[in-house]
């Protein structure tokens, strides 16, 4: 399983559990909160009504006549109220009054007048001067028939002027009356929680994708470096990942530097052995040989091998500078059509006069890319020089430049003998060179490495292959 998916699943699991427990805790608190609000309202109502029907003295009867008509009218009174999308059409209250002995003397439901309520908590505790409340399931078969009753003491002054409890008024309201609000709150919390979970999941997916892409860029960079390809250090917005990318770049530079020195030292030493041996032999012989013609030949050998060593050193230095560049410093728009025409003009006249080699051009007009004109010119000249060196006299070199949907394609082909089968796998290696057909001499073996480095700096690909009949085809491909 990929890292991004693991991260997302872990994030979603932790977040989902957190949201679930948080919403569950909220839901557990909502219902008791609504009942507490109902209880508070019933306390206020019962105490208000207790003052309305309080007798003048402790020996006077409780003034039920002040309460009864108002309660009856209130219960019949139509109500058109919408509370949180819940419509209330009537008052749903039960009010009863008991005397000092706890006997019901008034019941708004005309149900229990004369009954002894002295043992019910709302009456029993209130008569003792304490807070009295109870919830009773009116119908044992119906779990939603629970009613909350709140008792309030009815005070009356005694003969000595002290306030005494003359009775109890209890106001009740079904607990189910808060159920619509509980359900609305529950649905609202669940809906918001679901949207919160979806939003958090999207944020988690974006975070996991971002991290996964950043890590993928680091992996891609590491793979390119391991293959020896030139690649820029990925620019990452996360400081820790950016620090990791910088550390990888420093490690790559250190390893490349060590490997670079080792490879070049070995290869350069091997390539310099042959001309140095020739120089040593010529220097030893030129002093003892009396033949003037032989001395001139030895001197010529010394000059030739010296030039070969100088060209080798110059090429090595140029290639080393090129390989140490991770990217083009200041690319500009280069007209490849004009560049190819200019390079061909520089060599075409001498080619026709000396070897009768013709250059055939088939170029699309105004083909432009972003790049370094000097490096591109060197790459084209390097491929042309190779084609010329391996072309027979009275032959033709073809150059095609096409702007395609996938990018720009440059093909340079000759009519030479082609690349031997044994050399195909080594042709890109530094210092590897084949003898030229006309002279039998080898080059420094760095030209194609130089061309490939220029191609990589321009994000292009370069490939060599033998043509079907005769010759070699070099193909540059610059992606859009």
What pLDDT is stored for residue 225 in this prediction?
Answer: 66
The fold of 332-479 is Heat Shock Protein 90 (3.30.565)
- pTM of the predicted model over 0.85: no
> CATH 1.10.287 spans which residues of the chain?
267-323
Question: How many whole angstroms separate alpha carbon 261 and alpha carbon 470?
Answer: 39
- Find the helix packing angle between 3-52 and 179-226, rounded to 10°: 160
Question: Which pLDDT score is estimated for 322?
Answer: 57
Q: What is the mean pLDDT of residues 463-469?
A: 86
Q: CA 397, CA 388: separation in Å to the nearest integer?
A: 8
Cα 15 to the chain's mean position, in Å?
A: 18
pLDDT of residue 409: 92
138-142, 273-277, 359-363, 429-433: lowest mean pLDDT where?
273-277
User: Quick count: other Cβ atoms within 10 Å of Cβ 418?
Assistant: 18
Rounded to an integer, the average pLDDT of 56-67 is: 90
Report the distance separating Cα 341 and Cα 329, nearest Å. 25
Note whether 407 and 480 are within 8 A (CB).
Answer: yes
The arrangement of secondary structure in 267-323, i.e. its CATH architecture, is Orthogonal Bundle (1.10)
Report the pLDDT value the prediction gives residue 54, as an integer from 0 to 100.
93
209-224 confidence digits (pLDDT tens): 777 777 777 777 777 7
Find out whether 281 and 298 touch, Cβ atoms under 8 Å.
no
> Encoding tokens for residue 48?
């208000």
Is 70 exceeded by the pLDDT of residue 178? no
According to the model, what pLDDT value does residue 51 have? Answer: 92
Among residues 252, 215, 259, 213, which one has the least CA distance to residue 230?
Answer: 252
Domain with CATH 3.30.450.20 in the chain: 3-185
292-323 and 239-286 helices cross at what angle (nearest 10)?
180
Q: Which of 427, 425, 475 has its CA nearest to residue 455? A: 475
Q: Supply 83's token pair.
A: 């509370």
| Nearest by Cα to 428 from 359, 469, 395, 382 | 382
Mean of the pLDDT values across residues 242-250?
Answer: 71
Statement: residue 344 has pLDDT above 70: yes
- Residue reference for tokens 């033998």: 466
| 351 pLDDT tier (thresholds 50, 70, 90) | low
Residue limits of CATH 3.30.565.10 in the chain: 332-479
Any idea which residue has 């999207």 for tokens?
Answer: 202
User: Beta strand pairing status for 104-107 and 396-403?
Assistant: unpaired
Give residue-wise pLDDT tens across range 123-157.
999 999 999 999 888 777 776 678 889 999 999 99
**Could you tell me which CATH class the domain 3-185 is placed in?**
alpha beta
Q: Which range is most confident: 148-152, 326-330, 452-456?
A: 148-152
């Amino acid at each position: 399983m990929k890292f991004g998916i693991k991260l997302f699943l872990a994030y979603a699991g932790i977040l989902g559990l957190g949201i679930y427990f948080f919403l569950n805790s909220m839901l557990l608190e909502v219902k008791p909160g609504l009942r507490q609000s109902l209880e508070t309202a019933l306390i206020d109502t019962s105490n208000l009504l207790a003052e309305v029907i309080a007798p003048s003295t402790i020996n006077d009867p409780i003034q039920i006549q002040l309460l009864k008509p108002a309660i009856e009218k209130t219960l019949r009174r139509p109500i058109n109220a919408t509370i949180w999308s819940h419509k209330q059409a009537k008052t749903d209250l039960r009010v009863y009054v008991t005397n000092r002995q706890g006997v019901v003397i008034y019941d708004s439901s005309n149900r229990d007048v004369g009954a002894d309520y002295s043992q019910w908590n709302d009456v029993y505790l209130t008569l003792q001067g304490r807070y009295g409340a109870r919830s009773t399931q009116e119908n044992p078969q119906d779990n939603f028939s629970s009613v909350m009753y709140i008792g309030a003491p009815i005070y009356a002054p005694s003969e000595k002027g002290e306030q005494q409890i003359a009775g109890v008024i209890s106001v009740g309201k079904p607990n189910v009356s808060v159920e619509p609000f509980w359900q609305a709150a529950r649905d609202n919390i669940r809906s918001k929680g679901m949207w919160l979970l979806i939003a958090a999941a999207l944020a988690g997916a974006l975070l996991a994708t971002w991290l996964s892409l950043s890590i993928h860029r680091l992996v891609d960079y590491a793979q390119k470096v391991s293959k020896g390809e030139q690649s820029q250090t990925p620019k990452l917005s996360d400081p820790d990942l950016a620090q990791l990318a910088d550390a990888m770049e420093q490690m790559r530079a250190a390893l490349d530097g060590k490997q670079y020195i080792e490879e070049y030292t070995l290869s350069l030493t091997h390539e310099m052995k042959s001309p140095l041996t020739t120089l040593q032999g010529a220097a030893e012989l030129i002093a003892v040989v009396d033949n003037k013609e032989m001395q001139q030949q030895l001197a010529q050998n010394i000059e030739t091998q010296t030039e070969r060593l100088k060209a080798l050193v110059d090429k090595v230095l140029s290639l080393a500078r090129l390989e140490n560049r991770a990217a083009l410093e200041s690319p500009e728009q280069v007209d490849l059509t004009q560049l190819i025409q200019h390079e061909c003009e520089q060599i075409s006249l001498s080619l026709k006069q000396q070897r009768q080699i013709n250059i055939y051009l088939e170029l699309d007009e105004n083909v432009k890319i972003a790049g370094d004109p000097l490096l591109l010119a060197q790459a084209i000249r390097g491929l042309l020089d190779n084609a010329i060196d391996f072309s027979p006299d009275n032959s033709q070199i073809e150059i095609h430049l096409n702007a395609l949907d996938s990018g720009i394609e440059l093909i340079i082909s000759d009519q030479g003998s082609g690349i031997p089968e044994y050399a195909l796998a080594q042709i890109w290696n530094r210092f590897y060179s084949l003898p030229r057909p006309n002279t039998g001499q080898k080059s420094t073996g760095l030209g194609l490495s130089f061309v490939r480095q220029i191609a990589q700096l321009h994000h292009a690909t370069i490939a060599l292959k033998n043509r079907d009949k005769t010759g070699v085809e070099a193909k540059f491909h610059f992606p859009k």
